Amino acid sequence: MQSPIIDYLDRVIAETDHIDSGALADYIPELASADPSLVAVALSTVNGTVYASGDADHRFTIQSMSKPFAYAAAIETHGLDAVLNRIGVEPSGEAFNELSLDPVTGKPRNPMINAGAITTHALVDGNEGAGVERMLDLFSRLAERSIGIDEAVAASELETGDRNLGLAYLLHSSRALEQDPRAVVAGYIRQCAASVTVRDLALMAATLANGGVQPNTGERVFARATTRHLLSVMTSCGMYDAAGDWLTTVGIPAKSGVAGGIIGVLPGQVGVAVFSPRLDPHGNSARGVEMMTRLSDDLGLHLMEASRPARSSLRETFRTTIEGEPTTVYVLQGDLVLSSIESLVRDIIEQPPTTGAIVFDMSRVDEILPVARRTAADMAAKLIDEGHRISIIDPENTLPGFGDSRGRRVERIQPVDR
């Protein structure tokens, strides 16, 4: 049985199929040859379960989505104060590759634009020339697989990297960069050429959503304070000169890359990633922005959306007999959002009910978001298709007019005893 969460992600891809605006990053020859029809979306809960749809196993380069993780690594290595002495945290309001530094401080304005990212890489690298290996090791620990370099993309970017090299020399002249500019730019470009999938990125983002702890391994990769600071900078600076529009419409910390990827983080709940190679004028994936907007609207991801902390929606499961028929009862609780109802869906799929009759007890449910309602309806449809009879206990009428996703009614019954 396929999870209804994957069904939902399938719909996100299908409903954005009409978007063909934007252009490939043709200033990097290897990226200019990408297949513009590729598309993928993935999300990972803070318990490490990853759901994905589309070309989810297609590998593309991480590009500027590496910047947040490098910045966090620099803070972990040198401490926040030392990093802030080199790199500011103010939105630039300019393009990601602007040839300028803050006129007052002489520092890069923030770590999400190229000038700041080059400085960040130098901090991770130190004077040992091991920055790329450190970043690949970090990516691999976050994604739970070995991450390597797309050498073709790295070579292509090195051949066309004059602007980044100009930034590095500007930084060197202002004493914001102490190492050899050419060596730092070469390392930074290789960092950006790390080869990932949306599954990798969703899990990496989920580590940030989980306060810096990798959801599956339990490793504390980043301190909680580092993660909080990073997410704040991503919120204000992660989408370049489109950051204000992004914050008001999508409303989550995010970072894009010119290969067509975007990652987003809802603290405490999920990490999300999308991929589509065509870019808008800001350098962000055109279709990816629309997919992220739909995810935010449907899943209630916006940071300014008032909600209670996510927890499992499943309070308990027990078997009883109702009118002589063996019945499995799922007792739900709290607010039903995607991250809370996901645990119920996963439990049903991994441990299918063995009784023909199933009851969902909604007595302890306070509120249900639209995406949770849709997911519950899809789950009910799958269970009905497999021959189960579904009933709900809903004394507060939390689910008025509830039926499965095909409009088939679900019986309402009174509370039951064990």
Beta strands 261-266; 270-275: pairing state: antiparallel
- Distance CA(148)–CA(297), nearest Å, equals 34
Give the count of domains, the chain: 2
Residues 166-169: contacts with CB under 8 Å, at least 24 apart: 166/99, 167/97, 167/99, 167/114, 167/115, 167/118, 168/118
Residue 118 has a pLDDT of 95
Residue 96 has a pLDDT of 63
Element at 93 (helix H, strand E): none
Residue 382 has a pLDDT of 93
Residue 310 has a pLDDT of 52
Could you state, in chain order, the average pLDDT of each consecutive group of 10 residues for the chain (418 residues)? 92 96 92 96 94 98 98 97 93 64 80 94 86 97 98 94 89 87 95 98 97 96 97 91 87 95 93 97 94 90 68 83 92 83 89 94 86 86 93 86 77 79
Residue 262 has a pLDDT of 98
- Distance CA(277)–CA(32), nearest Å, equals 9
Residue 417 falls inside a structural domain: no
Domain C-terminal end among 299, 330, 359: 299
State whether 366 and 247 are in the same domain. no
- Distance CA(312)–CA(337), nearest Å, equals 10
State whether 73 and 131 are in the same domain. yes
- Distance CA(255)–CA(72), nearest Å, equals 14
3-state secondary structure of 386: coil
Residues labelled as active-site residues: 64, 67, 188, 240, 258
State whether 197 and 260 are in the same domain. yes
pTM: 0.87
State whether 109 and 228 are in the same domain. yes
Residue 307 has a pLDDT of 56
Residue 7 has a pLDDT of 93
- Distance CA(377)–CA(370), nearest Å, equals 10
Element at 328 (helix H, strand E): strand 325-336
CATH code of the domain containing 377: 3.30.750.24
Q: Which one, of 32, 54, 42, lies nearest residue 278 by Cα?
A: 32
State whether 217 and 323 are in the same domain. no
Residue 154 CA, distance from chain mean position: 24
State whether 353 and 266 are in the same domain. no
- Distance CA(238)–CA(256), nearest Å, equals 7
Residue 142 has a pLDDT of 98
Q: How many other β-carbons are positioned within 10 Å of the β-carbon of residue 42? A: 26
CATH code of the domain containing 220: 3.40.710.10
Residue 98 has a pLDDT of 66
Domain C-terminal end among 267, 299, 331: 299
Burial class (CB in 10 A: 0-12, 13-18, 19+), 155: middle
State whether 257 and 144 are in the same domain. yes
State whether 266 and 406 are in the same domain. no
Residue 149 falls inside a structural domain: yes
State whether 110 and 258 are in the same domain. yes
Largest separation between any pair of C-alpha atoms in the chain: 83
The residue range of the domain holding 321 is 314-412
- Distance CA(220)–CA(224), nearest Å, equals 9
